[in-house]
Homo-oligomer: A and B are copies of this chain.
Amino acid sequence: MPYDPSAFPPFAVTVDLVVLTVRRHALCALAVRRGEAPYQGRWALPGGFVRGDEDLTTAAARELAEETGLNAHDPAGPVLPNAAHLEQLATYGDPKRDPRMRVVSVAHLALAPDLPAPRPGGDAHSVRWAPVEELLDQEAGYGRDGEQVTPLAFDHAQILADGVERARSKIEYSSLATAFCPQEFTVGELRRVYEAVWGVALDPRNFHRKVTGTPGFLVPTGGTTTRQGGRPAQLFRAGGATLLNPPMLRPEA
């Protein structure tokens, strides 16, 4: 097909973010309330237009910083205190996904440790961490004012579901679960991350054997903590290994 610069239809390109964290033993996602039509008053994933001179990853990192104050973690750079894992998830381009115009959205997945306070971004609209169970609940939910608040706006329920599934499967064979933990954490805290993301209970003894026995996964820092109560636990940092082999097995049935 010969190239004709005038022959392509124009698209708007956005990035949408699935930002996950573990709060109070539940997997939670960041949601923002829409202030305008369409889907006014409904919850949606944070996101925005990609600028004309901006890479997709850059746009996602910018949106993440605007909404949460988190920095995208650069594997090459130093470990920042406010660093979150950020990766591209998938792209959604159904012609009718946005009633206003043709929008292609490049969804990204971010994994962050539990933040002290879910601070609203630069905009005044409301932002919150909501358990993914709640956001993905099939039935329509209504707020105090009678407005419909779930399901999520646009195709964001699908995007969120895809992001959650990506996170669930990826912690099986990578060390990504540490992205949900603070810089220093205990084996028990890491186990609770797995339990929250998978929604299962894991045997503490076998889990301990598995993670401490995988070379390069965890590096002891020397310190201990009793912040979980009980016997003091060793503190670890994430090791250099990013791939778990053999993988952590997700219990089933």
Contact = CB atoms under 8 A, between A and B. Distances in A.
Contact of A36 (B3, B53, B90, B92): B3
A130 interface: no
A56 B106 CA distance: 12
Contact of A12 (B8, B50, B90, B100): B8
A10 B7 contact: no
Interface in A44-58: 48-56
Number of identical protomers: 2
Main secondary structure of the interface of A (DSSP, over half): loop
A123 interface: yes
A88 interface: yes
A201 interface: no
A1 B36 contact: no
Nearest to A100: B5
Contacts of A90: 88
B13 A93 contact: yes
Contacts of A10: 10-12
Contact of A54 (B2, B7, B51, B95): B95
A168 interface: no
A237 interface: no
Interface of A: 1-3, 5, 7-13, 35-36, 48-56, 88, 90-95, 100-102, 104, 106, 123
